[in-house]
Structure 1
Amino acid sequence: MSAATGTGVRSPEFWHDPRFPQLESRRSCRQNSCYRPHTHDRFAVGLIDEGTSEFAGRSASPVRLEPRDVILIPAGHVHSCNPVSGDWVYQMMLFDPEWLRVRAWAHDAAFDGAIQVHRDSDAYRLFAEVNAALFEGPRDLDGLERSLRRAFAGLGTASVRHEDPVGESALAETLRPVLDVLAEQSEDPRLGDLATAVGMSRYQLIRAVKRATGLTPIAWRNNARVMRARAMLRGGEPITSVAHALGFADQSHFHRVFRAHVATTPGAYIR
């Protein structure tokens, strides 16, 4: 299929290139596993190719996504997106937000803005063409950046169909020591100890983390470990080593958590 009408792949495909570590991408298949709420540590541009899906963020009601919608998701914003029924095909590119920050052509939403849903055929086409080129094989990186500049410029005239509210940033900063421990400590931390460190009860901490991040402490921890796992796998570390380093009980446990967040296995992610 052409870039403008869908990917046509039979299983999820991932693109990453050590020459361009600031970007990774995926193309989905027609029968997608469902995602649980999660975040990315990168700015995401999602493209809906075929079928309809429901996007859930912080809004009270989910948003229906349709073919040619373009979704902008800043790093750290909790969301999930799952098919309404039948086949659903999408693409997603993930950009290092600091790499985008120094480029004047990058979209403002890449930084501290809300999640945005755009419906614009031209913007969709430009990003789809960039992504198709990635999967075609080695290419000139300067040319890739020029294509990305044109695609982001197209968003400047695209209408915003939906904006999802942002979380409580001040509360998130208060909880930063807790969130860092949850993300970085290999052993499972005791919530009671974390709560005491920020002057809260265990139940106050659970509610506060949910308000600040959109996830419970355990869900936040698993999400953070999966983001670290993706980076380690892209760097060439063996799956068994990644599972051990991140404190998973065993490789099967790592496989289950990774698949719930990425909708594919660690092996397929690096294939």
Structure 2
Amino acid sequence: MTNAWSYRRADRDDIVELAAWSGAGSPGLRPHFHDESQIVLVLSGARAFRIDGATVTVPAGHAALIPAGMLHAPLPTPDQTVCLNAYVPTSRAASSLRIISVGARLRRLGEISPEHMLGITGDILSREPSPSVQLTGRAKLGTALTGSTEPIGEIAAGFGRSREGFSRMVRRELGVSPHAFRLLARLNRARQLLRAGEPIAAAAADAGFADQSHLTRLFRRTFGTTPGVYWRD
């Protein structure tokens, strides 16, 4: 058991990367979101997440899809856990977390190919209802916060809200403050740059962090690994 995340680039257009965990339990992390849909396949033990104020558990033999942009906080679990995450581009909209049973046909990390993960993704998405109006509203807020560098007050005015009223709306719809949402978006940008091979210091600067140590501290708290480990894998 390694008690650490290991990352593997899939070198294909339909999967951005794969991340495996094998160790005592699974780690708790700060709330965050991804620009891609995250598929969580649990082979043994369990994964647990805090989403929209509720605890969601993914037991062994099950897979979950966490839609792109959905705020989720991984919770620590006590049992020996083996799981594989796949991050896939959002080619089809998903409006809610979905969990399905995959049975015991997949038991070992080494037996699971990108095609297996894509098959699970397709199975989950085939059961996915049409996007909801609520998702569209969340997407508009997220785009407004990350699509420009305007001060929060100016963005709030565009929504016909005071800064305080806009902040309350963002917390209600996105689960974090406007500033926290923008920070998470910058962390995702840094992750994308590292994945493309950009040096850590350059990725930190390009994503708007004060320096490499600033990025490293926040990256570890949010994703459970350091930019150095992520960049080398």
| TM-score of the pair, normalised by structure 1 | 0.71
1:211 is matched with 172
2:89 is matched with 96
Identify the structure with the greater strand proportion.
Answer: 2
1:172 maps onto 2:131 in alignment: no
Task: Check conservation: 2:40, 2:65, Cα contact below 8 A.
Answer: yes
1:177 Cα shift?
5.5
Q: How many residues matched? A: 229
1:47 maps onto 2:41 in alignment: yes
Aligned partner of residue 64 in structure 1, secondary structure: strand
Note closer, same or farther for the CA distance 1:199–1:35 as it changes in structure 2 (3 Å cut). same
1:118 maps onto 2:91 in alignment: no
Note closer, same or farther for the CA distance 1:149–1:116 as it changes in structure 2 (3 Å cut). closer
| TM-score of the pair, normalised by structure 2 | 0.81
1:28 maps onto 2:21 in alignment: yes
Q: Which runs of 5+ in 2 are unaligned?
A: none
1:155 Cα shift?
5.1
Note closer, same or farther for the CA distance 1:151–1:36 as it changes in structure 2 (3 Å cut). same
* Alignment RMSD (CA, Å): 3.2
CA distance in 1, matches of 2:126, 2:145: 37
CA distance in 2, matches of 1:261, 1:115: 20
1:248 Cα shift?
1.0
Aligned partner of residue 205 in structure 1, secondary structure: helix
Aligned partner of residue 121 in structure 1, secondary structure: coil
Task: In structure 2, give the amino acid aligned to 1:42.
Answer: E
Q: Deviations over 1:156-200 (max 9, x none)?
A: 999x9xx9x97833533553563224xx64xxx643333233321
1:150 Cα shift?
4.5
CA distance in 1, matches of 2:45, 2:167: 36
Aligned partner of residue 248 in structure 1, secondary structure: coil
Task: Check conservation: 1:71, 1:115, Cα contact below 8 A.
Answer: yes
Equivalent residues in 2 for 1:54-93, closer than 5 Å:
54-58=48-52, 60-85=53-78, 87-93=80-86
Instruction: Please tell me whether Structure 1 or Structure 2 has the larger radius of gyration of its CA atoms.
Output: 1
Task: In structure 1, give the amino acid aligned to 2:192.
Answer: A
Q: Deviations over 1:15-67 (max 9, x none)?
A: 114x3143111001425442111111112110223334432112x43123322
CA distance in 1, matches of 2:79, 2:9: 29
Query: Aligned match of 2:207 in 246, 252, 256?
Result: 246
CA distance in 2, matches of 1:115, 1:39: 13
1:252 Cα shift?
1.4
Note closer, same or farther for the CA distance 1:34–1:94 as it changes in structure 2 (3 Å cut). same
CA distance in 2, matches of 1:76, 1:96: 12
Task: Check conservation: 1:46, 1:92, Cα contact below 8 A.
Answer: yes
Q: How many percent identity over aligned positions? A: 28
1:132 Cα shift?
4.3
2:222 is matched with 261
Note closer, same or farther for the CA distance 1:201–1:30 as it changes in structure 2 (3 Å cut). same
Note closer, same or farther for the CA distance 1:170–1:270 as it changes in structure 2 (3 Å cut). closer
